[in-house]
Amino acid sequence: MLAENGRDYFWSYVLAILCLLAIAATTAFSAWIMRDVIDEIFVNARADLIAVISGAIFAAFLIRGLATYAQSVILARVGNNLVARYQKRIFDHLMKLGIGFFTDQRSGQLAARITENVNGVRDLLSMTLTSVARDAVSLIALLAVMIYQDPLLATFALLIGPPLIFAVNTLMRRLRKAARKAVVVNSRLVGAIQEATQGVAIVKAFTMEEQLSQRISLLIADSEQRANKIARVSERTTPIAEILAGFAVAGVIAYSGYRAAYEQLPPGAVFAFITALMLAYDPARRLARVQVNLEKALVNARMIYEILDIEPHQRDAPGATELAVEKGAVRFERVSFAYEEALPILRDVDFEARAGETTAIVGSSGAGKSTLIALLLRFYDLDQGRILVDGQDIAAVTKQSLRSRLSYVSQQPYLFEGTIRDNIRYGRPGATDAEVEEAARIAFADEFIRAQADGYETLVGESGATLSGGQRQRISIARAIIRDAPILVLDEATSALDNESEAKVQAALERVMKGRTTVVIAHRMSTVVGADKIVVMDSGQVVEQGRHEELLADPNGIYARFHRLQGHKNGLELVDDRNPRQEPTAAPMRKLS
């Protein structure tokens, strides 16, 4: 961390260290001058030194006050900048990681963990600097004053050091494990609360309030238990330090009192020594606790670097070029793929989506349709085979150039925080307001957008919660339209629309699809009837290809079986009749008589 950030904050750290050294020096000065205060002013009655000594003490406190303010502001600014820097760095790194990483992580837990861990980075550097430049220097300076006043007493006082160090090191081993578990438990708690609030409609519909309350209560109790354990372990340094310090102070006072009573020594040196000893207690106590606090900060910092050290699995190939799309033909050549160590999802898939034509991919659930789209977008790398765009292997081009040539509409539309206009403009950041509104008109979204209170400046709410499913889908279609890419990828883009809206959007998509290569994952028969090519998937393989009429000509074919079971007029989803337990999910409900 110092290697990565030290140079950028060098002069800020220099100023902070100078302020901390000033604090340490004035603290030691306060103890050192007590000898002159007692001996010269009170014992020798030197009236001529009152103004000098009083002025020196006032100057010391003035310098210490200003230095304390300055170092606090400087370190706060550095710490806040560190938090901002690491937040940006982590987010940029997360955006480089593949889809697989996020499928293994719960978003709420990941966000909570990162938020807590980033503060550990700030605390680690701040505590290191203050403990070294202020507390350690103050302690050394005060020890020097003590040795100067009375070497024998100083040696006696220093005997508390070894047992204190031993006690702290013993506690650290227990604290390290407890602190890491506490971070994990807290992230689970925050993640569970976030999921419950995001899915509140399902929670209420299924009367899950009591179940979730019990689950959250268990997590809260676990978090409380972890926090209490950390408190018990970390706070044990306080009584240990107090006992040892009390023993040392009592011994010093007893010995000094004996010498003052029987050897008639002047009290100035004793008072200066005791003052130095009392002032040394605070930095010594903080240094004893700083290892406790550093250990907790180190746990958070390590967890940050565990994320930053994850290597992206989908780096651009060495020498990757920009994808140049002239026509937009897409070719799958003997593609095979499996998710990690699972059974193969795709096996020897081979077909072509010809340039400027619409290719529909159909098949029962689990046939591998969505996986084909994920591979085309290069969310994952192939196990075998190639995917070509205008003859160029997508594995040999940059992901940025590949995805910039694709417009994608998912089955589940996702909107981001911001306005409707912002969400459409994500398709092409440089688009003008007029282009945004034209894309919305083509997607038949302009009318309901203008009906909103703030029109295109309406905030969409979390995940677009203020809009209906059909409205969110039409905004996502407008986002794909404004991208104006040569290849259009639709994952049943009209699935969330009612019949009237579906007809409008389908007409709009037909306008957009002209002259573009379009790959459609289809669940409804109405979507595929007019396609230039239909690719039928079954168990991860291509089993049939052709136009609608050609595939129906084979009554024993899978596509014909789909067609018979579904009925092309009722808009049911494609279902494999070889699985009698699978029911069409989009079937219209029959009116109860």
From residue 392, how far is each of 261, 471, 564 by CA, in Å?
97, 37, 39
The predicted-structure confidence for 313-357, as pLDDT tens digits, reads as follows 777 888 888 988 888 899 999 999 988 767 788 999 999 999 988
Structural fold of domain 2-308 = ABC transporter transmembrane region fold (1.20.1560)
Residue range 508-566, pLDDT digits in tens: 777 777 778 999 987 666 678 888 899 999 888 999 999 988 888 888 888 888 877 76
| pLDDT (mean) for 266-279 | 74
Helices (H), 453-495: 469-483
Please spell the DSSP secondary structure of 202-214, one letter per residue.
HHHHTT-HHHHHH
Distance from the Cα of residue 406 to its chain's centroid: 27
**Per-residue exposure over 97-116, b if at least 16 CB sit within 10 Å of its own CB, e if not:** bbeeeeeebbebbbebbbeb
Q: pLDDT of 174-227, one tens digit each? A: 777 777 777 778 777 877 887 787 677 777 777 788 888 888 888 888 888 888
The correct CATH number of 323-405+533-585 out of 3.30.420.40, 3.20.20.70, 3.40.50.300, 3.30.200.20 is: 3.40.50.300
Round to whole Å and give the CA distance between 28 and 33.
9
Q: What is the DSSP string of 140-160?
A: HHHHHHHHHH-HHHHHHHGGG
Of the candidates 521, 520, 525, 587, the residue with the CA atom closest to the CA atom of residue 562: 525
* Rounded CA separation 492/524 (Å): 8
Residues 330 and 532: their CA atoms lie apart, in Å, by 14
Whether 532 and 354 have beta carbons less than 8 Å apart is answered as yes
What pLDDT, on a 0 to 100 scale, did the predictor assign at position 582? 38
**DSSP symbol at 573:** B
Q: What is the pLDDT of residues 491-524, one digit of tens each?
A: 876 665 667 767 776 777 777 777 789 999 876 6
**Three-class SS state of 542:** strand
For the chain, give every domain's residue range. Answer: 2-308, 323-405+533-585
> What's the whole-number mean pLDDT along residues 480-501?
79
Nearest to 379, CA basis, from 30, 101, 77: 101
Give the Å distances, CA to CA, from 196 to 83, 148, 218, 467, 472.
28, 65, 15, 20, 22
Confidence grade of residue 266 (pLDDT, cut at 50, 70, 90): low
Q: Are 359 and 533 in contact (CB under 8 A)?
A: yes
For residue 402, give the nearest of 459, 303, 317 by alpha carbon. 317
Q: Phi first, then psi: give them for residue 521, nearest 5 degrees.
A: -85, 120
